[in-house]
Amino acid sequence: MHSAPGLVAILAYDGLCTFEFGIAIEVFALPRPEFDFPWYRHCVVAVDPGPLRALGGFVIHADAGYEALAEARTVIIPGWRNRDEPPPPALLSALRAAHGRGARLLSICSGAYVLAAAGLLDGQRATTHWRYSTDLAQRFPAIEVDPAVLYVDNGAVITSAGSSAGLDACLHLVERDFGAHVSNTVARRLVMAPQRSGGQAQFIAAPVAQAPRHDLAALLEWAREHLSEPLSVPQLAAKALMSERTFLRRFHEATGMAPKAWLQHARLAQARALLESTGLNTEQIAERCGFASVEGFRVAFRKAVGLAPSLYRGGFGQR
Which CATH number does the domain housing residue 279 bear?
Answer: 1.10.10.60
Is the domain of 171 the same as that of 235? no
| Residue 194 maps to a domain | no
- Rounded distance, CA 169 to CA 187, Å? 12
pLDDT tens digit sequence for 69-126: 999 999 999 999 999 999 999 999 999 999 999 999 999 999 999 999 999 999 999 9
Is the domain of 170 the same as that of 255? no
Domain boundary among 134, 157, 189: 189
Is the domain of 172 the same as that of 23? yes
DSSP secondary structure letter of residue 109: G
Report the amino acid identity of residue 303: K
The count of structural domains within the chain is: 2
**Quick one: average pLDDT of 180-207?**
67
| Residue 203 maps to a domain | no
| Residue 218 maps to a domain | yes
| Residue 276 maps to a domain | yes
Judge contact between 5 and 25, C-beta under 8 A: no
| Residue 230 maps to a domain | yes
Is the domain of 47 the same as that of 173? yes
Q: What is the mean pLDDT of the chain?
A: 89
Predicted confidence band of residue 22 (pLDDT cuts 50, 70, 90) = very high
The confidence score (pLDDT) of residue 125 equals 94
pLDDT for 206 beyond 70: no
Helix, strand, coil content of the chain in percent (nearest 5): 45, 15, 40
Q: How many CA atoms lie within 13 A of 285 on its CB side?
A: 24
Judge contact between 186 and 27, C-beta under 8 A: yes
Is the domain of 117 the same as that of 185? yes
Is the domain of 169 the same as that of 231? no
Question: Which CATH number does the domain housing residue 143 bear?
Answer: 3.40.50.880
pLDDT for 276 beyond 60: yes
Q: For the chain, what is the total number of helices (H) and then of strands (E)?
A: 13, 10
Is the domain of 43 the same as that of 179? yes
Element spanning 159, H or E: strand 157-160
**Quick one: average pLDDT of 267-282?**
91
- Rounded distance, CA 9 to CA 281, Å? 39
DSSP secondary structure letter of residue 76: E
CA Rg, the chain, in Å? Answer: 21
Is the domain of 126 the same as that of 253? no
Is the domain of 147 the same as that of 265? no
Which residues on neighbouring strands pair with residue 157, listed in sequence order? 105
Residue-number span of the structural domain to which 292 is assigned: 212-319
The confidence score (pLDDT) of residue 306 equals 79
pLDDT for 24 beyond 90: yes
| Residue 30 maps to a domain | yes
Q: Which one, of 177, 190, 170, lies nearest residue 39 by Cα?
A: 177
| Residue 195 maps to a domain | no
Predicted confidence band of residue 211 (pLDDT cuts 50, 70, 90) = very low
**Quick one: average pLDDT of 249-272?**
88
Helix axes 18-28, 165-178, angle to 10 degrees: 20
Judge contact between 163 and 109, C-beta under 8 A: yes
Is the domain of 162 the same as that of 225? no
- Rounded distance, CA 270 to CA 115, Å? 34
> Using alpha carbons only, what angle is made at residue 83 by residues 78 and 87, rounded to the nearest 5 degrees?
70
- Rounded distance, CA 36 to CA 43, Å? 22
Is the domain of 168 the same as that of 246? no
Is the domain of 128 the same as that of 180? yes
